[in-house]
Amino acid sequence: MPKSLQKEKPETLSRVFSNPDQAYEVALKFGTPTYVYSQRILEDQAGKALAFPNAYGLTVRCAMKANPNENLIRIPYKKGVKIDASSGYEALRAMSADIDPEDILLTSQIIPSNLKQLVEIGVEYNACSLHQLETYGKLFPNSDVSLRVNPGRGSGGTKRTNTGGPSSSFGIWHEDLYKALAIAQQYGLNIKRVHTHIGSGSDPEVWKKVSKLSLDIVGKVLDAGHNVSILNLGGGYKVGRMSYEKSTDLQDCGEPVARAFERFARKTGVPLRLEIEPGTFLFANSGAVLARVEDIKPTPKYDFVITDSGMTEVTRPALYGAQHPIAILPVNPGKRKMLRQIVSGKCCESGDILTPAPGDSEALKPRLMKEARIGDLAAIGGAGAYCAGMPTKNYNSYPEAAEVLIDLKGKPHLIRRRQTLDQIIENERRIV
């Protein structure tokens, strides 16, 4: 167990809220559970990403899968952050948010049915398998294409967020690069961009090492006669959601890579433009879920705090054993003692636990927090990324939560209405 966990401290209120009164105001006006985001934090994170060290130019792409709400992807977009889409549907959704098609890079696990139409209107395509590359070659011979390669190594916040190495299906295995080059030659394709991705919440040291492997791959593609001008080093940077977790320093992480690009340019004569794809870095700590304590259930072993949120809004703890800070906000004034409590969701599912053991979704880890009472609020921090975009939607027929954005002046705005039961069942058709 990390030393930081041995000296456990209760989590403080998420920086999304300026004070508890603002949280109460949001709960009173919009109900619970509700996702709440801070425009200020999101803009700050976008600025840090755009300042990433680089030698010959930088493109920052927002991994919109982290949180696809149009209001949230448009905030960094207005500052110059482009879009990384993971499906044809995401590309269409981005365009519906007035994102220019030419600012979208489509990197998908399967070939979109509308690939031809997307490329024809300007979306860039990143081929992630030999089959995808050949399909693209047949549709668009004698054109530019991007190539995603699995560099043989990866890193993630958990094993399930690692997208590199032999246990990952993402990208063309690096030892099959010669097969990809043969397909490109067959269809007259020029590989303009090489893309690698090691995982979300990755170790910055592994990211640096994979950068070296990626440059070696670019060298092989150049040797085959392609005009590569861009190296996209995908991989979400570690973001400390919990107080004891350390976030990646982008300057420290990026400077050695910038120097490696310079050495590569001196060796090959090719000054590569760098692309990065932050998602968690942009969104994670810019969002929180505001929930209400609905019940208290003690057992001989644990004190369970039941909230009206859970895996329907924040799936990561049940899926990965991920840790999210949780602060209890007493509705009634008065001093509360500190207790070790388990926070549980509302679903009829034993895995709906918001305080699992770190990295172990099947084990429980009581948290030190203010004694919770029915009617109190609970603020679940670090919920801006891979929460609203990755819920166990409508389990137990619970509606999707509302989403609220707090603007730069501190005013909350509804950016997605709470779903209704009628909306949940509207596509069902009775036949019996």
Q: What is the pLDDT of residue 337?
A: 95
Token pair listed for 146: 């991007």
Domains, the chain: 3-37+284-417 (2.40.37.10), 39-283 (3.20.20.10)
Q: What is the pLDDT of residue 314?
A: 98
Among 377, 413, 342, residue whose Cα is nearest residue 14: 377
Q: What is the pLDDT of residue 4?
A: 42
Bridge-partner residues for 297, per DSSP?
A: 304
- Cα 291 → chain centroid: 22
| pTM of this structure | 0.92
How many CB atoms are located within 10 Å of the residue 115 CB?
20
DSSP labels for 366-421?
-EEEEPP-TT-EEEE-S-TTTTTTS--TTGGGPPPPEEEEE-TTS-EEEEEPPP-H
Residue positions annotated with a catalytic role: 348
pLDDT in tens, 297-344: 999 999 999 999 999 999 999 999 999 999 999 998 788 999 999 999
Token pair listed for 105: 């890079």
Q: What is the pLDDT of residue 1?
A: 39
- Cα 299 → chain centroid: 36
Among 76, 69, 65, residue whose Cα is nearest residue 107: 65
Q: DSSP assignment, residue 129?
A: S
Q: What is the pLDDT of residue 191?
A: 98
Question: What does residue 391 show for φ and ψ, rounded to 5 degrees?
Answer: -90, 165
Q: How many CA atoms lie within 13 A of 106 on its CB side?
A: 33
List, run by run, the mean pLDDT of 10-residue segments along the chain (432 residues).
56 94 97 98 97 97 97 98 98 98 97 97 97 98 96 50 55 94 98 81 61 92 98 86 90 89 96 96 97 97 98 96 96 91 96 95 95 98 97 96 98 98 97 96
Q: What is the pLDDT of residue 213?
A: 87
Nearest-Å Rg of the Cα atoms of the chain is: 23
Helix (H, G, I), strand (E, B) or coil at 106: strand
